Amino acid sequence: MAQRADKTNLTDASRGKRLQRVMADAGVGSRRACENMIEEGLVEVNSIIVAKLPAWVDPEEDHIVVNGKPLPKADRKLYIMLNKPVNTLSTAKDEPGSDRRTVTQLVDHPASARLFPVGRLDYDTVGLILLTNDGELANRLTHPRYGVPKTYKVTVKGELDEEAIKELERGIYLAQRKAGNTDGVARTAHVEIELIARDRDRTVVSLTLREGRNRQVRRMLAAVGYPVRKLERTGMGPVKLKGLPRGGWRELTREEIRALRRSAADSQREEKEQGAKSSNQRANNGSQTGKSGGSRRTRARNQPKKAPYMSPQAGQEVNIRNRTIKNAINRAGNEKGFVPKKIEEPETTDGSNGNE
């Protein structure tokens, strides 16, 4: 018979999972927050205080106490698709003093697990939103690093012309917000647009993007002169919104969950490959420059610390060094013979950071 693992030896990786991961899965907090609690001596495993990492535990066998309270068992991982209706917040709960409906209130799952939305949709945007208690997968689906595509069905006022479509595909300059303030402008990444229907009064398109800025779809279309009438998210990665009435929900199938994981992994792999190509290209350029007598270290000291800013009106790179964004934009405007207007990013009604 195999011997049981020593319950006092937490340095054995074969025991199971890392302690901070087990705590995070049980809803204590983020992994980093759990690591801090461990290092502060607030966690006991089998009556022994753990103050050093790494530490491995068996969540089924070990008795774990966090800040004087037994660690609850981790919930079964749930993955829910919801067809979000209009006038619904994409948060777990509303702000104090308000009584608006939230997406979590619409999902009455018998497991009673604590779910949270994956990303956000604006208050008046409808369509696909995922809810889960799997923080790791949620991060992969929403973090810009992984670039998981989101697809929207957009209805705009008027007949969207080909020039506007090309401009959207190339990218639109939008203001960025940081700590509640406008922090320059940046061009949107390439988007994929498919025309569904078009007449004199309205145009319907399918739009797919791989980044998420505050109210991005609405702001992009407003920038080319076509305000959005209706916005519905129809897909996230390989998962498509099908067969659900507005306000309805269902669990994802095993195949859909596997496809989501593969989508995030494939996007990260593409990014690493692209980064490797860029590094090789820089190395080749550096070696060629070195042959011509230029030192890479010397050139690095002579170059500006900040990357060149982009002029939203010029639509091309402007080589502006070591100036504030305001001066950079004014300089670009003067070079083109006009004064650019002040660009402000609109706030959402629910304070969200969604990409619709």
Could you give the CA distance from residue 48 to residue 350 in angstroms, rounded to a whole number? 45
**How buried is residue 82: exposed, middle or buried, by Cβ count under 10 Å (0-12/13-18/19+)?**
buried
Q: At what angle do helices 254-291 and 135-142 cross, to 10 degrees?
A: 50
Which position among 122, 124, 134, 266 bears the catalytic label? 122
Are 24 and 57 in contact by the 8 Å Cβ rule? The answer is no
Distance separating alpha carbons of residues 268 and 147, to the nearest angstrom = 8
Who's near 289: CB < 8 A, 6+ residues apart? 296, 299
Distance in angstroms (rounded) separating the CA atoms of residues 284 and 239: 41
Residue indicated by tokens 């919104």: 241
- The closest alpha carbon to 206, from 170, 233, 187, belongs to 233
C-alpha to C-alpha distance for 95 and 354, rounded to whole angstroms: 17
Nearest one of 352, 351, 333, 355 to 342, comparing CA atoms:
333
- Please indicate whether residue 25 is annotated as part of the active site: no
Residue 74 Cα to chain centre, angstroms: 25
| Strand duo 228-236 + 150-157: pairing | antiparallel
**Quick one: CA dihedral 310, 313, 319, 322, positive or negative?**
negative
**Distance (Å, whole) CA 203 – CA 42:** 58
Q: What's the chain's length in residues?
A: 356
Query: How far is residue 164's CA from residue 193's CA, in Å, rounded to a whole number?
Result: 11
Active-site residue numbers? 122
